[in-house]
Chains A and B, each alone.
Chain A
Amino acid sequence: QKEVEQNSGPLSVPEGAIASLNCTYSDRGSQSFFWYRQYSGKSPELIMSIYSNGDKEDGRFTAQLNKASQYVSLLIRDSQPSDSATYLCAVNIVSSGGSNYKLTFGKGTLLTVNP
């Protein structure tokens, strides 16, 4: 089983709609979860971080975490064409040595917001 899994998409939504992005992870001990946005040819930029079960809202973005289900999601409300990008789910997972964490990325979901 892959450590962090996302639907690769592509996901296409009309402008103004809600985009829903999902991610599951394998390590039950993970404590830190991140959503990054990556435009083509650019480095990832942090959208949201979440550490506790439940919802966390920041403007048009809401991250949801369910540790029992090992599931984290990102909702984008009132989607804009400028939101079109690849969204990467990242989870801190214990490294094989057991003493450190490493940030592990999913494959990413390509989102297209149509005007």
Chain B
Amino acid sequence: GAVVSQHPSWVICKSGTSVKIECRSLDFQATTMFWYRQFPKQSLMLMATSNEGSKATYEQGVEKDKFLINHASLTLSTLTVTSAHPEDSSFYICSAPKQGAGGYTFGSGTRLTVV
């Protein structure tokens, strides 16, 4: 139980375009979703926390106008990288708290390459 489905698993886009990443909770309601970014050989860095029906909370240094987060329903949170640049190339991962059991469940990640 507590599965988060993340799509796409990889995407290549041109510089200046926008890319949307989706995370869906399949068998539970995710009122909160965490969005992480991981550069090669680095750890996961929290970008923002989305809460269903309210504005996302962004970590210091993360541009909220560039990384648009929408959490319009209890089963879907999206991250849109707007006007992507090569430096945005990274591994993006979503995560939701598990209900009751404690801990967190992670999506399978999205490898974004901006060319």
Whether a CB of chain B sits under 8 angstroms from the CB of A105 is yes
> Is A1 in the interface zone, CB < 8 Å from B?
no
Q: Provide the residues of chain B in CB contact with A51, threshold 8 Å.
A: 102
Tell me, in angstroms, the Cα distance from A113 to B106 when the chains sit together: 26
Q: A49-B103, A108-B43 are in contact. Are A43 and B109 (CB under 8 A)?
A: yes
Does A32 interact with chain B (Cβ within 8 Å)? yes
Please classify how large the interface on chain B is, using the bins under 10, 10 to 19, 20 to 34, 35 or more: 20 to 34
How many CB-defined contacts (below 8 Å) exist between A and B? 47
Is there an interface contact between B106 and A106, defined as CB atoms closer than 8 Å? no
- Identify whether the interface residues of B are mostly helix, strand, loop, or mixed: strand
The bracket for how many chain A residues form the interface is 20 to 34
User: Which residues on the B side are within 8 Å of A95 (C-beta)?
Assistant: 49, 57
Q: How far is the CA of A44 from the CA of B6 in the complex (A)?
A: 13
Q: Which residue of A32, A43, A102, A103 contacts B108 across the interface (Cβ within 8 Å)?
A: A43
Would B103 and A46 count as touching, CB distance under 8 A? Answer: yes
Known: A43-B109, A103-B34, A103-B46. A34 touches B93 (CB 8 A): no
A35 to B6, CA, bound (A): 22
B49 → chain A, closest Cβ, in Å? 7
Residues of B whose CB lies within 8 Å of any CB of A are 6, 34, 42-46, 49, 57, 60, 91, 93, 95, 102-104, 106-109, 111
Separation of A97 and B106 alpha carbons in the complex (Å): 24
Closest 4 CB pairs of A and B: A43-B109, A107-B43, A105-B43, A105-B44
